Amino acid sequence: MATVRGEALLERTDPSFLKSCNTTEPQETGEGEIMAPYLMDCRRKQKHIFRQLCVVYDMIQLLAGLESVDQLLNEPCPQNPGNEARSAWKALKVEYQERVQEVEGLISAFQVRMEELQGKREKLETLLSTLQIKKDECKEKERITAKQSQRAEKQISFQLEDSLQAAQNALNVCDVHLSKLKDEFERQQARIGDWTLLRDRLQTLVTVTHRNMQYRLLLVSPSELCLELLPRAAEKSLDPLRVSVTMTASDEFHLQVFQGTAGLVEEAVNGPLRQVSAALVEVMERYISQGEMLSEIQALHSRFAIDWCPAEKLLIFLKTATTVCHLRVEEGYPSHGRATLLSVRKDGNLFDITNLQPAEQHPVLTEWLEFLSSNPNI
């Protein structure tokens, strides 16, 4: 029985099996060739983002300390812009290098442990070879003195079985520990993949924000930010959309959209502070999607006495002090919806609007108001 277990243990610890696991150098060589251009590209992008952050930070600091527009025009440019942002960036860089050194230290420790396990395997292999030699010597002595050494042979056989069992147990412990180290390595690789996906999502969000809007700061405080979003992706010019962002101590934000002259429904949005950029982009895209209708309504404000109710999509036209006209705008106006006259009140009484229709087949709001303002019967 000891012979069979010794042969099985030698087969399991065959040198070819150990060589098959030693793939560190090719992997490290291939990984270095792939990571070198990737790290150079990341460094270039980090420098570019750092310059942009310096400009934005200096603009915010400059605007926060201004009291009037004349002060912005008359004061000279700062001598050393970006010092505070550069210091913050250097602190982040030092922290990043410390984390890299920590990871490299863990990798070095992992390699040392692997080398220790490799040495233990070699010691076990040597021990098994020695045991086999001793077993052969015992067999030779058994043939010479069979009767005299029968009791001694049994004792040695028991000792060999105990030694093999101890070696087997030690090998099992090494296998379990190696499996745990492999699992830890796979978890670290998964974390690297998650950070890569997060970086890609942030880059996409920055690109969409830069493409769809600009902004103008109105008020900056530690807990509140008031700004005007200036759309530049709409086909027609639109008035700025005023919004207010309030930050709470629990890393939450409260986004308030003000109607003003923009013609958008006033609303409030709440959520985690990390989603405030996405909320601003969503509000601006919704504003731009109604750009053609809102641009026309904003232009009508300068020509006629009107009130726009965005929630009901209702336009109220005050022709005179006693004559009020109500017009309804359908969803999708002007490409897929129409503008219709709902009612006309003159001196507090409803006016018959059956025959009130502009010459155009599907008049828009501007044509309706021009028709109503020039109609002598109303």
Residue 4 confidence (pLDDT): 44
244 CB-contact burial (10 Å; exposed 0-12 / middle 13-18 / buried 19+): middle
Average pLDDT over residues 65-87: 67
* Most confident stretch, 7-21, 116-130, 219-233, 290-304: 116-130
Coil vs helix vs strand at 168? helix
- Domains of the chain by residue range: 213-290, 303-374
| pLDDT interval class at 317 (50, 70, 90) | very high
| pLDDT interval class at 109 (50, 70, 90) | very high
| pLDDT interval class at 185 (50, 70, 90) | confident
The mean pLDDT of the chain is: 77
The β-bridge relationship of strands 306-309 and 349-350 is: unpaired
For the record, the structure tokens of 30 come out as 């291939």
| pLDDT interval class at 5 (50, 70, 90) | very low
| Cβ-based neighbour number of residue 185 at 10 Å | 13
| pLDDT interval class at 254 (50, 70, 90) | confident
pTM as predicted: 0.37
Of 25-39, 91-105, 175-189, 325-339, the poorest mean pLDDT is in 25-39
Residue among 291, 247, 292 nearest 270 (CA): 247
Round to whole Å and give the CA distance between 117 and 174: 7
Residue 14 confidence (pLDDT): 46
Residue 27 confidence (pLDDT): 47
